[in-house]
């Protein structure tokens, strides 16, 4: 499959004009077309991309049905899960939300904190009304007092598209909840669900400590869904069968490509279509982004983009990020740069963030430079053990997962670096790390 075929395939969206509630129908694609964008920054497509207006959405898939609590059964049967990275069943989140008694805010989370990811922004820019329909459905079904779209403050293009879509809905006098657009800080942690919750209730945009919740509490409730999850909800609620596609952001040497593929597509087909196999296969692939994990090419060449299958192999696509590195790049140096970035984005609210992440960054930096002794390597492993799972939030877990996978994937390089023979490419970073962390 070529890159042109990958991009063109996104334009094959069925356009049914009637809704048949008595039978599930083949769902249309989520994206109107694939796009190519810069390796860093906003999701501005290199070529003009379509934007679906309200009348076009209704012509394609029909008007939005009214949301009711019966939707819980519908999304449970559809197997709808979150698409922000954790893949938690949506029905379980709804039931947990309904156990509380306080005022409820439902949030469409479009703050794509993962620096490499652009699938959510691309979806919102192309099909804003599909996301807003999903938000309205969830808010109505759960009796929410407030419905919010949450974005990073520097995502100007997506914000403009959504503001236009909300104005369209007002002009059309659509029935449903009032939809708000809230711009949060442009920080790695401001897309984390508990940070969003805290901010919307007047606190700082920082994650809260992991603690069990009181199901009988009358305190304010917040349900946060990734925007892709809500777009899929909008289709399932109209009687479409569960979609069998995945949205991917693939990093190439010159760009990022965002497109939709059928679940089960071979990894080799996707990389071939994005140009990665022209000069041979990559050395390794970072799956899920900076809080994800490395996988050696030998473990991926027969793999498919199917989350359950990947998890069975100890891997995950996370938020749909695929970032290969070529032979000649130093995976340990890449990991050190990412770890330094994650440490700089710390919430600084607990020991693992305040002290653990900088210690891990220092350990990885020394290892990548070839300055780490065997004793220092042992200390890095001990620091991993001390930090993993002990943070007040999940931010440190992303760093420990990344480092642990790097030590395994680049095991031969670890031995060479400890012996004082770092990779020739250890002074160059091929992945776009914000702030130029090295």
What is the residue extent of each domain of the chain?
A: 39-236, 245-325, 331-436
pLDDT tens readout for residues 137-155 = 999 999 999 999 999 999 9
Q: Which CATH superfamily is domain 39-236 in?
A: NADH-ubiquinone oxidoreductase 51kDa subunit (3.40.50.11540)
For residue 216, the model assigns a pLDDT of: 57
CB 223 within 8 A of CB 138: yes
Nearest CA among 177, 82, 94, 161 for reference residue 127 = 161
For residue 426, the model assigns a pLDDT of: 83
Same topology between domain 39-236 and domain 331-436:
no
- Provide CB contacts within 8 A for 351, sequence distance 6+: 390
For residue 225, the model assigns a pLDDT of: 96
For residue 205, the model assigns a pLDDT of: 92
| pTM listed for this prediction | 0.92
The rounded distance, in Å, linking the Cα atoms of 361 and 184 is: 27
For residue 9, the model assigns a pLDDT of: 52
For residue 14, the model assigns a pLDDT of: 39
Bridging pattern class, strands 293-296 and 284-287: antiparallel
The rounded distance, in Å, linking the Cα atoms of 438 and 425 is: 13
For residue 82, the model assigns a pLDDT of: 84
Which fold does the domain 245-325 belong to in CATH? Answer: Ubiquitin-like (UB roll) (3.10.20)
pLDDT tens readout for residues 401-431 = 999 999 999 999 999 999 999 999 888 899 9
For residue 1, the model assigns a pLDDT of: 58
For residue 211, the model assigns a pLDDT of: 55
Phi-psi region of 370 (alpha: psi -120 to 50; beta: other; left: phi over 0): left
The rounded distance, in Å, linking the Cα atoms of 323 and 267 is: 12
- Provide CB contacts within 8 A for 34, sequence distance 6+: 6, 7, 8, 9, 10, 257, 258, 259, 260
Low-confidence stretches of the chain (pLDDT beneath 70): 1-24, 209-217, 436-438
CA dist list (Å): 1 to 30, 207, 262:
20, 42, 13
For residue 212, the model assigns a pLDDT of: 52
pLDDT tens readout for residues 13-33 = 333 333 444 456 888 999 999
pLDDT tens readout for residues 226-254 = 999 999 999 999 999 998 999 999 999 99
Handedness of CA 169, 171, 175, 176 (dihedral sign): positive
Which fold does the domain 331-436 belong to in CATH? Answer: de novo design (two linked rop proteins) (1.20.1440)
């Amino acid at each position: 499959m070529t890159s042109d075929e990958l991009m063109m395939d996104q334009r094959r969206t069925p356009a049914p004009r009637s809704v048949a509630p008595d039978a599930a129908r083949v769902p249309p694609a989520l994206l109107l077309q694939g796009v190519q964008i810069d390796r860093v920054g906003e999701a501005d497509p290199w070529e003009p991309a379509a934007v679906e207006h309200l009348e076009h959405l209704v012509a394609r898939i029909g008007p939005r049905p009214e949301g009711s609590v019966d939707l819980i059964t519908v999304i449970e049967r559809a197997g709808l899960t979150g698409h922000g990275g954790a893949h938690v069943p949506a029905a379980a989140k709804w039931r947990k939300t309904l156990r509380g008694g306080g005022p409820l805010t439902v949030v469409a989370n479009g703050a794509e904190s993962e620096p490499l990811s652009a699938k959510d922004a691309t979806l919102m820019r192309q099909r804003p009304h599909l996301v807003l329909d999903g938000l309205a459905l969830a808010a109505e079904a759960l009796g929410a007092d407030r419905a919010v779209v949450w974005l990073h403050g520097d995502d100007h293009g997506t914000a403009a598209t959504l503001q236009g879509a909300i104005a369209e809905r007002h002009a059309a006098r659509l029935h449903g909840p009032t939809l708000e657009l809230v711009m949060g800080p442009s920080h790695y942690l401001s897309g984390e669900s508990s940070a969003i919750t805290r901010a919307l209730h007047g606190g700082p945009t920082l994650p809260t400590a992991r603690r069990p919740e009181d199901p009988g509490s009358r305190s304010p409730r917040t349900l946060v869904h990734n925007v892709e999850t809500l777009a899929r909800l909008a289709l399932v609620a109209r009687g479409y069968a569960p979609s069998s596609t995945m949205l991917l952001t693939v990093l190439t040497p010159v760009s990022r490509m965002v497109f939709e593929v059928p679940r089960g597509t071979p990894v080799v087909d996707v990389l071939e279509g994005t140009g990665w196999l022209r000069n041979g296969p990559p050395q390794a692939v970072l799956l899920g982004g900076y809080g994800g994990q490395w996988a050696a090419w030998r473990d991926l060449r027969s793999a498919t983009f199917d989350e359950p299958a990947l998890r069975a192999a100890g891997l995950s696509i996370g938020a749909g990020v695929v970032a290969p590195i070529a032979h000649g790049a130093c995976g340990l140096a890449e990991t050190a740069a990412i770890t330094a970035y994650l440490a700089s984005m710390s919430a600084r609210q607990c020991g693992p963030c305040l002290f653990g992440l900088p210690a891990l960054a220092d350990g990885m930096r020394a290892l990548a430079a070839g300055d780490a002794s065997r004793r220092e390597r042992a200390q890095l492993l001990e620091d991993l053990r001390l930090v993993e799972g002990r943070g007040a939030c999940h931010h440190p877990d992303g760093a420990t997962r990344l480092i642990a996978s790097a030590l395994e994937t680049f095991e031969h390089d670890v031995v060479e670096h400890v012996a004082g023979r770092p990779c020739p490419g250890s002074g160059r970073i091929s992945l776009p790390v914000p702030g130029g962390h090295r």
